[in-house]
Amino acid sequence: MALPAPDLDDRGFDDLVGDARRLIADRCPEWTDLHPADPGITLIETFASLTDQLIYRLNRVPDRLYVKFLELIGVRLVPPTAARTTLTFWLSTPARATQLVPAGTRAVTVADGGDPLVFATLADLAVPPCVLTQLRVRTADGVTDQTGALELGGPVVAFSPVPQPGDELLIGLDRPVGGCAVRLEFEGRVDGVGVNPLHPPLRWEARGADGWLDCEVGLDETGALNRPGAILLHVPDGHQASLVDGVLAGWLRARVVTPQEGQPGYSASPVVLGLAANTVGGTTEAVHADLVDDEELGDSEGVPGQRFTLTRRPVLAGFGDPVLEVSSDDGWQRWSPVEHFAGSGPGDRHFLLDGVAGEVVFGPAVRQPDGTLRRYGAVPPRGGRLRLRRYAVGGGSRGNVGVGAITALRASIPYVAGVENRHPASGGVDGETLDEARRRGPLTLRSRSRAVTAEDHEVLAREAAPELARVRCVPSNGDGPPVARLLVVPAAPAEEGRLRLEDLIPAESSLARVAGRLDETRLIGTRVVVEPPRYRGVTVVARVVARPRVVVERVREEGLAALYGFLSPLAGGGPDGRGWPFGRPVQAGELFAVLQRVRGVELVEDLRLFTANPVTGERGTEAGRIDLEPDSLVFSFDHQLRVEEH
């Protein structure tokens, strides 16, 4: 723990006013009218306020010196990371020609008491038209071409007379439509009735290079091919033209699978009387950021150590390497970003981008013991123009929005009617604060990019993947080879305070970056394992009494929000508001206090604590205390709160 630094001057405004009044009474006793209306008191308070400001600035001197020390050892504030999601753009009419949604298209959330959040697409989205050209039926007896029968108006029996798992209805499109939303118009009879339309034994898939890929079903008006209607399929990006039954097409299929336990299967095959396909939208990745293209930074003075300030900041981390270009007699030259200039030579075109300060920095020239100057990095020629091709600003935890939060375009696009996010945005983390950097400074100085202690592993993991919300290193205690287990928790959106278990599983790219970084810095013989923690489901069932003349439903909503917030693995949860501590047990007594603090609660009558399986949804046994292993975190699952009137 760092030693507490005393203030250089601990006097405040009241102390200064009191000292002045005592000095006046001692040195000028004839002045006795010291009341608030006296002009002399106004002068005293004015000078006391100015002096108080000087003392405040004087006490900030140690902080400034410490910050400068952090800069000397290479510690810079970590900029925020941006939340990512996918945006689906809906066409006003089915595509008749390829519609392009360019990279950098901006969509925004609907403002609700604050500024709207901007999400920008990362790549061009092409939405081509498509038509159905082939129809095949595959059963245990083989493949049957039903294209001609469909053109004549059917009927086409979609599967076996009594559909069996593995039967397929194969639909061939004239081209692949990866990343697009395809609408199938189905006409048919109800011969296949008997299945549960909410849990049908039917899977829609698209043919890719390495096999069949799952399609997300956005709409099914047919009840699993049991009545006329539309089926909306979101085709994955890997959809490709491939050969099926000797025919090259963009293939989709409906495959019969084994019904879920307790659900009925098909009693007879659906009958197809008509089937048509068209493209109605497309999906692409987007990031919570505003993109800045081709910003002119100014002209070089031809000296080492130059700094150029960007118009906007902070610059986001994890958005790819920025591209800096410097004009020369041979055209524009590209310069490469580096983390530091320690390994840069006089001819290396390197620059450093300070994301938090929003500055482009070039290498310095350092005087050597023999009096010569050594340049760490090349110097842009005098008069050369500098421009940064693309960078992104924004990010932070505000971007972790829920499903359907992004609903508007910043600027209209021809033939595009709307936009939505069908999945929550995740991965947004706020930038590092000065206090966090001050705590990280001694660790950086001690480890010098070497993972020795558990804290070293945690610091290096955060540097490798700043989009992670929490990192915990659990070292092995056995007699075998040392193992460092890194438990990582990603930033996840909370809808009405509730988290989804699948959003707490880190992305493979984050795990790979952390593993790669620690593999470079670990001790020889130490094995590093990077994985999510074990989540222990907890369900609270409680009954409270509301105070007179309060809205019972509001008390219930605020009570549930308090439970979900307290039993959360992310920031805001736990006793200290920094997320539920790893391995800390859950006790019923603490939850009594949480509910008792809810506005409008008179009395907590009963509270019961249960274990739960968040995957299967099964509730476990009742317990007054739920113990967690050192590698476990709590996960709130389906709390229930009953509020009774007084």
> What does the chain come to in residues?
646
The rounded percent of the chain whose pLDDT value lies above 90 is 37
In this predicted model, which residue has the larger pLDDT, 398 or 279? 279
Residue 351 pLDDT > 90, yes or no?
yes
How many Cα atoms occupy the beta-carbon half-sphere of 543 within 13 Å?
Answer: 5
pLDDT at 596: 92
Q: Which residues pair with 374 in a beta bridge?
A: 366
pLDDT at 2: 40
The rounded distance, in Å, linking the Cα atoms of 361 and 367 is: 19
How is residue 244 written in tokens? 């099926």
Average pLDDT for residues 413-432, to the nearest whole number? 89
- Three-point CA angle 400, 402, 405, nearest 5°: 105
Average pLDDT for residues 136-150, to the nearest whole number? 88
Candidate from 415-419, 472-476, 634-638 with smallest mean pLDDT: 472-476
Cβ–Cβ < 8 Å for 290, 107: no
What string of DSSP letters covers 181-198? Answer: EEEEEEEEESTTBTB-TT
Cβ–Cβ < 8 Å for 574, 568: yes
646 Cβ contact partners less than 8 Å away, ≥ 6 residues apart: 545, 546, 547, 548, 602
Q: Is 103 exposed, middle or buried (0-12, 13-18, 19+ CB in 10 A)?
A: middle
Average pLDDT for residues 479-492, to the nearest whole number? 84
Average pLDDT for residues 105-134, to the nearest whole number? 87
pLDDT at 584: 92
pLDDT at 467: 81
pLDDT at 299: 92
Residue 629 pLDDT > 60, yes or no?
yes
Helix (H, G, I), strand (E, B) or coil at 517: helix
Q: At 1, is the pLDDT very low, low, confident or very high (cuts 50, 70, 90)? A: very low
The rounded distance, in Å, linking the Cα atoms of 646 and 634 is: 33
Task: State the residue for tokens 């394992």.
Answer: 529
The answer, as to whether pTM is greater than 0.85, is no
Number of neighbours of residue 96 by Cβ within 10 angstroms: 11
The rounded distance, in Å, linking the Cα atoms of 402 and 398 is: 11
Query: If you average pLDDT over every residue of the chain, what do you get?
Result: 86
Q: At 207, is the pLDDT very low, low, confident or very high (cuts 50, 70, 90)? A: very high
Task: State the residue for tokens 């009494």.
Answer: 545
